[in-house]
């Protein structure tokens, strides 16, 4: 019995070490958090989410995987739905003022967000809280009391605010309130730990300060690196069109992962999988020596991620589809069908097929060489084409529609 208990203790220590070091940018205060994670009391681990957009991408997935580790160690996840702060918009990393969202937009986005969130995190071991639970009852006296705990000088110590201030760019008072509102969430739920991306570091530290000012023990902080998008340059974001959505269909998700630059393989394996560091290093070294094709490493990565977010069966089917289309140059077995006129402008066909939303977007796709009709590249955006029978319209490497003539 003693031996079994000793082994369980060692296993828990190893799990805690993995949590504190794997796919982690920084921990404040690391030894304090390690001690609490090994202790008997379940910690309240906070994640604040602003549903400013309905889609979640793999950049968010990095955080969610870390939350799942906390759950597996027996700790309580507390998800704060920022139905107040989402209306302001997080100013972190912004060079311009954000547009405010309506309450209806926030509620609609939040539901979609949660549906995707629970593909990764156990819903039965998560506490969901809405900011409005406490902020709807806030009085002017409460606002003054909260804002008295922080100074403008402290806010301007933040890089993005300092840059905008020095450039004379507008900074709304609501934006200055944002870190304080997020910080008060930690007070409201008595958070022991808060997790976020490295772009959230300032806000998380404000949470520690406000908890201390309000007589609570300051939360520890764990930040995760920002995932670079599929372009290999910018952080993953829908705004940059370089994202892989958690809700992407398996074949599309698989194809996007296969398209990432070779230079991102290390980060994607480290941040999105549990493959041991020693194995990742060995794979990358072998690829650098030319002993392993990076394409094979991407295929393994895609299999791991699609399996986690969909299923092993879906991942295998996506691999088969990818192999059929890109290696054997065959067309997908299934694709949408759209009925079109027998003679039509190529721009109109792209819009009718849902490949573009405007003439300008359709023209750009053609001029960039990304459009094929019946296997032939279309180069003239002003072309009128004839559709005599079922014909495949292709945009890029992953989008196919079968055009069927009317009548």
DSSP string computed for 291-308 = SS-HHHHHHHHHHHHHHH
Q: How far is CA 378 from the centre of its chain?
A: 35
Alpha-carbon distance 403 to 400, whole Å? Answer: 10
DSSP 260: S
Q: Name the DSSP class of 144.
A: H
- Please give the pLDDT value at position 91: 55
Please tell me whether the peptide bond between 53 and the residue prior to it is cis, using omega within 30 degrees of 0.
Answer: no
> For residue 51, what pLDDT is reported?
79
∠ CA 354-359-363, nearest 5°, is 95
Which of 82, 84, 77 is CA-nearest to residue 120? Answer: 77
- pLDDT score for 327: 63
Question: Homologous superfamily of 337-405 in CATH?
Answer: RNA-binding S4 domain (3.10.290.10)
E strand or H helix that includes residue 128: strand 126-130
What pLDDT is attached to residue 96? 46
**pTM for the structure as a whole:** 0.75
Q: Say what the pLDDT of residue 175 is.
A: 82
Asked whether this chain's domains 248-327 and 337-405 adopt the same fold, the reply is no
pLDDT mean for each 10 residues of the chain (407 residues) = 56 94 94 95 93 83 95 94 75 52 80 87 90 92 92 84 84 85 95 94 93 96 95 87 90 91 96 95 93 93 96 94 72 80 89 89 88 85 83 84 79
- How confident is the model at residue 287, as a pLDDT? 92
Residue with the two structure tokens 């926030």? 106
Q: What is the pLDDT of residue 131?
A: 92
- The full set of domain ranges for the chain reads 2-224, 248-327, 337-405
pLDDT of residue 325: 72
Phi and psi at residue 129, to the nearest 5° = -125, 140
Q: What is the pLDDT of residue 392?
A: 85
CATH code for the structural domain at 248-327? 1.10.240.10
> Roughly how many angstroms between the first and final C-alpha of the chain, as a whole number?
78
Superfamily name with CATH number, domain 2-224: HUPs (3.40.50.620)
In this prediction, residue 180 carries a pLDDT of 93
E runs forming strands in 319-398: 337-340, 343-345, 371-373, 376-377, 384-386, 391-395
Question: What local confidence, expressed as pLDDT, does residue 1 receive?
Answer: 45
In b/e form, how buried is each residue of 88-127, taking b as 16+ CB within 10 angstroms? bbbbbebeebbeebeeebbbebbeebbebbeebbeeebbe
């Amino acid at each position: 019995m003693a031996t079994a208990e000793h082994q369980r203790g060692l296993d828990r220590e190893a799990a805690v070490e993995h949590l504190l070091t794997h796919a982690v940018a920084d921990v404040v205060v690391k030894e304090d958090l390690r001690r609490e994670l090994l202790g008997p009391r379940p910690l309240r681990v906070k994640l604040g989410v602003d549903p400013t957009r309905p889609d979640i991408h793999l950049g968010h997935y990095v955080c969610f995987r870390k939350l799942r580790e906390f759950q597996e160690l027996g700790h309580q996840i507390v998800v704060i739905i920022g139905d107040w702060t989402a209306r302001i918009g997080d100013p972190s990393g912004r060079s311009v003022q954000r547009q405010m969202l309506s309450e209806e937009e926030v509620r609609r986005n939040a539901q979609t967000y949660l549906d995707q969130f629970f593909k990764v995190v156990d819903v039965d071991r998560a506490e969901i809280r809405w900011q409005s639970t406490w902020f709807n009852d806030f009085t002017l006296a409460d606002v003054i009391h909260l804002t008295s705990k922080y100074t403008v000088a402290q806010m301007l110590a933040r890089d993005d605010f300092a840059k905008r201030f020095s450039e004379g760019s507008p900074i709304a008072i609501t934006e200055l309130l944002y870190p304080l509102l997020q910080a008060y969430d930690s007070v409201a739920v008595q958070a022991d730990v808060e997790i976020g991306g490295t772009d959230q570091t300032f806000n998380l530290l404000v949470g520690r300060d406000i908890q201390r000012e309000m007589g609570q023990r300051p939360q520890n902080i764990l930040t995760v690196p920002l995932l670079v998008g599929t372009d290999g340059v910018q952080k993953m974001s829908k705004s940059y069109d370089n994202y892989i959505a958690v809700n992407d269909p398996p074949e599309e998700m698989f194809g996007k992962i296969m398209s990432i630059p070779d230079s991102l393989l290390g980060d994607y394996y480290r941040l999105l999988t549990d493959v041991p560091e020693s194995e990742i290093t060995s794979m990358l070294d072998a690829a650098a020596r030319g002993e392993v094709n990076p394409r094979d490493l991407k295929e393994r990565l895609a299999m791991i991620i699609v399996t986690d977010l969909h299923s092993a069966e879906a991942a295998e089917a996506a691999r088969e589809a990818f192999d059929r289309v890109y290696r054997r140059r065959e067309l997908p077995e299934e694709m949408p069908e759209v009925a079109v006129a027998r003679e039509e402008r190529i721009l109109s066909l792209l819009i009718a097929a849902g490949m573009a939303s405007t003439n300008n977007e359709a023209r750009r796709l053609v001029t960039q060489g990304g459009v094929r009709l019946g296997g032939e590249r279309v180069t003239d955006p002003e072309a009128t084409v004839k559709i005599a029978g079922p014909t495949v319209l292709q945009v890029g490497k992953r989008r196919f529609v079968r055009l069927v003539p009317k009548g």
